[in-house]
Structure 1
Amino acid sequence: MESQNYKNHTRYYAPHHFVFLPLLIVLEGIGIYKVFNDEQNQLSWILFSIVIFLIFYLAIMLRQHYALVLQNRIVRLEFRQRYFEIFGLRSDVVEEKLTFGQIAALRFAHDEEFKIFLEKALKEKMNGDTIKKSIKEWRPDHHRV
């Protein structure tokens, strides 16, 4: 497996991204084409296009919403567990001062960098993207949604 870093840490789900969504786009294209080229059934093609668009929209939004909400909860739990393992303290006070972007970025840093970037995030308000770009020893996460 390729070593994970900032440039390659995104992930795709092939059936969704490369089969289902492209199929919906093709069907939407056919529907729009037929709206303008089949005057006899124009109303049916308009309805077809609207339904396909709604399915496409719902597929994107529901998949993203459910996966992201669950993933965000898990990332927060991982932060709490890791903070406790490193510092031996509850993370409640610290976690309230961090944005989710900062918390998410910190999980890619190994323990020593975690401490450094946590301090910078708290004191200098270093944002998540800057934290990720600054990580020297990337801690991969191959189990993300």
Structure 2
Amino acid sequence: MEKKQSAENHTAVSPLQHFFWLPLSAITLFSIIAYIVVATAQENLTFVHIFLLSILLIAIISRMLARIYALKLQDRLIRTEETLRYYMLTQKKIDEKITVNQLIGLRFASDEEFVSLVEKTGNEDLSKGEIKQIIKNWRADNHRI
């Protein structure tokens, strides 16, 4: 049975990302850099060395950008969902002072406490972490990557 989500255990780990891709990329990058340093010291640096480093950097940056773009898209979706949720519960627009990071924290609040937490967040400028800590009825988000 899946453990109930809370402020302490809601973060997710992607095994392929965190335990395969990141370590393999780091090892490969450091190996190629060491190989280039040795080749340079031996005055044996060729175009192939630079080409390998360039290809690896392109691959790493491409993967990082794909991850960043996916997270930015999720942030925009959360902003839209939580703004709509607030409107559905209150028939009012959400306070424009509420930031995306605050909405990311607020998404875990149950409907019963959501509106009051939004108002408290607007008045006290609570951080995402502070919001998560004061939520009493945690609403799980099992889809964030």
TM-score, normalised to structure 1, is: 0.82
Tell me the amino acid that sits aligned with residue 26 of structure 1. Answer: I
Counterpart of 1:48 (choices 41, 52, 60) is 52
Look up the SS of the partner of 1:42 in the other structure: coil
Match of residue 9 from structure 2: 8
Query: Is contact 1:105–1:131 with CA below 8 Å preserved after alignment?
Result: yes
1:90 is displaced (CA, Å) by: 4.0
* Correspondence list, 1:1-145, <5 A: 1-38=2-39, 39=42, 41-43=44-46, 44-64=48-68, 66-87=69-90, 89-91=91-93, 94-145=94-145
Q: Name the CA distance, whole Å, in 2 between partners of 1:132 and 1:8.
A: 11
Q: Which runs of 4 or more aligned residues in structure 1 lie more than 4 Å from their structure 2 counterparts after TM superposition?
A: none
Structure with the higher fraction of residues in helix conformation: 1
1:141 is displaced (CA, Å) by: 0.3
Q: Name the CA distance, whole Å, in 1 between partners of 2:95 and 2:123.
A: 13
Tell me the amino acid that sits aligned with residue 69 of structure 1. Answer: K
Identity over aligned pairs, percent: 33
User: Once the two structures are superposed, what CA deviation does each residue of 1:47-94 show, in whole Å capped at 9, x if it has no partner?
Assistant: 423431332123113321x2122111211221133213322x142xx2
Alignment RMSD, CA only?
A: 2.1
Gaps of 5+ in 1: none
Q: How many residues align?
A: 141
Query: Is contact 2:108–2:135 with CA below 8 Å preserved after alignment?
Result: yes
Gaps of 5+ in 2: none
1:95 is displaced (CA, Å) by: 4.1
Instruction: Choose 26-35 or 101-110, whichever is displaced more.
Output: 26-35
Q: Name the CA distance, whole Å, in 1 between partners of 2:61 and 2:88.
A: 42
Tell me the amino acid that sits aligned with residue 71 of structure 1. Answer: Q
Query: Is contact 1:24–1:56 with CA below 8 Å preserved after alignment?
Result: yes
Query: Is contact 1:34–1:42 with CA below 8 Å preserved after alignment?
Result: no
